[in-house]
Structure 1
Amino acid sequence: MGEADSNISATALKALAVLDFMGEQRRPVTVNEAAEGIGADRATVYRMLMTLVQAGYVARDSVSKHYRLSFKILSLARHLVGEDERAGHILACLRRISEETSETVHFSMLDRDAAVLVFRAKGVQRVTVDFQIGDRSALPCTSIGKVLLAYQDLRATEAIIAAGLPKVAPKTITDPDAFRRELALVRAQGYAYDDLEFAPDMRCVAVPVFENGGAVPGGIAISGPSSRFDLDRLDALRIVAVREAAALSRTLGGLP
C-alpha cells in the first residue's frame, strides 16, 4: 500500500463523506446513521456534524436531534447551474429536442467517476424515467457514461475499468475487453445506447457535446421505459439528438 499524501486532510475527507452520505439519504439522519454510513465512530462523526452545523452546511433539529443538509449547499453550487450564456444555449437545445420528441431530455457532465445531471427539459410523456438535477449516474452501465468515457484520456477509462464493472441489470457489460470495444464503437459512431444495461426496464441514447479544444465535458441523453423505447424508437431519438448536439457543439466552440 502506498504512503498517504501529506497534502490531503483525512479529517476534511471524512467531513465531506458525511455530506455525501446525507445527500444520498434525501432525509434527515441521526449521528448513528451517519457514523454507520461512512464507517466511522460515533464521536468522530458527531464532531464532524457539529462543525458542519457551525459552518452552515448542515442544520440540526433541536427536538429530534436529526441532521439535514442546509440551503447553503445550494448557494455554494449556484454558479454551476446558473443561467449564463452557455447554460442558455444548452437549455435551448434540450427544449428543442424535447419539443420535437415529446421526451424528457437531460444534459449531464463528467464528475470523476460519475455523470451528474445538470440541466433537463421536461417532456409531455406520462410514463418517464424520473431523473432529477444533481443525480449521479454510474459511467460503465449508462449511455451518457459511455459517451463521456469514450472521449476521455485512456487513463481515465482504465481507472474506471480497474474499479470494476458490476452487473446491475440483465445486459450490463462486465467484461473489460468487451467494454473497451464498446467505447471504441461509441467514439467511432458518435453516440451510445443503453440497452437494458442500467435497469431491466429502461433504454437510453446519449450523444456527446463538444466544446472548446474538442473536449467533451458533457453530453445529452434521453431515457425511457423499454415498453416505449424499443430499438426503432431509440434510433429515431438518436437522429434528433445527434443533429441538435452537433449544432450545440458548434455554438459552444467545439467540433462535432
Structure 2
Amino acid sequence: MADIDGNISATALKALAVLDFIGEQRRPLSVQEVAEGIGADRATAYRMLMTLVHAGYVVREDKTYRLSFKVLSLARYLVSDDERSLQILGCLRQISEETGETVHYSALDNDCAVLVFRVKGIQRVSVDFQIGDRSPLPCTSIGKVLLAYGDARFSEKIIARGLPKVAPKTITDPEELRRELVHIRAQGYAYDDLEFSDDMRCLAIPVFERGGQVPGGVAISGPSSRFDLAKLNELRATAMPHVLELGRRLGG
C-alpha cells in the first residue's frame, strides 16, 4: 500500500479486496478466512466486513459472510437491454443456432477477460462458463484477441508480469507470444489449443466497434474430445460472418 496515490483510499481498496475474495470463493467465509485471503489481520478484516454488511453488499449468517444480491443489482446496469446489448445477444443466438454450441461475448476488464453475455447451445458435452467468469489474457483465445487488438503498451505490461504455465501448451516464452499476437492480427481470430486447460480448445473473434476499438469478442469453447482443429475451423467459418456483421452494426 506504500505506493498508493494520495487520491486513492487504502481503506476502500481493502473493502473492495474483501468483496473480490468472497466472490472468488463462492461460499460463505469466516472472518479468519477473509483475513488470510486479503493478507490482513483479523481486526481489519472484521471491520471491512461489517462496513460491507452495513452498506448492504455482504450478508452475515451466523459467523460467516457471503455476497448479497445487491451486488447483482449493481451489476445489471452493465448488461442492460440497450441497443448494443441486444445486437450482441442477437449475434450470439444466430451463431448458437447454426452450430449448436454455447457462445460467449467477453470484454476486457483491467487485466482479465470477463464473460458478459452467454447463449447456451444444445450440446450435452460442453464447457460451462458462466456470466461474470474471468479469464487470464495470455493463455485464452479471447484474451489473446484482446491483447492482439489492444494497446501495445498494455500487452507488454501483461507479458512483463510473466507467463506461467497453466496447461500443456501454454505459451510461456514472451517472444513466442508476441509472434502469436502478430499472427492473430493478421488472420483476424485466435485459437486456444490446450493453452488454458488440458482438455479444452477455443475460438475467439474480435468485435470491432467505433474508431476500430475492440472492447470485446465472441468466443466458443469446447472439450478437446469434440474440438479438434478441423472443428475450430468449421466453427470459425460459421461464426465469422455474423461477428463481422455485428461489428458493422456497432460502428466498427
TM-score of the alignment, normalized to the shorter chain, above 0.5: yes
**Counterpart for residue 181 of structure 1:** 179
Are 1:12 and 2:12 an aligned pair?
yes
Mapping of residues 1-256 of structure 1, within 5 Å: 3-61=3-61, 64-254=62-252
Task: Tell me which stretches of 4 or more aligned residues in structure 1 moved more than 2 Å.
Answer: 1-4
Alpha-carbon offset, residue 3 of structure 1: 4.2
Q: Distance in 1 between matches of 2:65 and 2:214?
A: 37
Deviations 1:84-122 (A, max 9, x none): 111111001000000000000000000011000000110
2:45 is paired with a residue whose SS is helix
Secondary structure of 1:92's match?
A: helix
Structure 1: which 5+ runs fail to align? none
Which ranges of structure 2 fall in alignment gaps of 5 or more residues? none
Per the TM alignment, residue 251 of structure 1 is displaced from its structure 2 partner at its CA by: 0.4
Q: Secondary structure at the match of 1:174?
A: coil
SS of 1:91's equivalent in the other structure is helix
State whether residues 4 and 10 of structure 2, in contact with CA within 8 Å, keep that contact through their aligned partners in structure 1: no
| Alignment: residue pair count | 252
| TM-fit CA distance, 1:4 | 3.3
Query: 2:4 is paired with a residue of what secondary structure?
Result: coil
- Looking at structure 1, the residues matched to 237 and 76 of structure 2 have their Cα atoms a distance apart, in angstroms, of 33
**TM-score for both structures, normalised by structure 2:** 0.98
User: How far apart, in 1, do the equivalents of 2:122 and 2:3 lie?
Assistant: 54
**Whole-Å Cα distance in 1 between the matches of residues 7 and 128 of structure 2?**
40
Deviations 1:199-255 (A, max 9, x none): 00000000000111110000000000000001000000011221111000000000x
The TM-score, its normalising length taken from structure 1, stands at 0.97
Q: State the superposition RMSD in angstroms.
A: 1.1
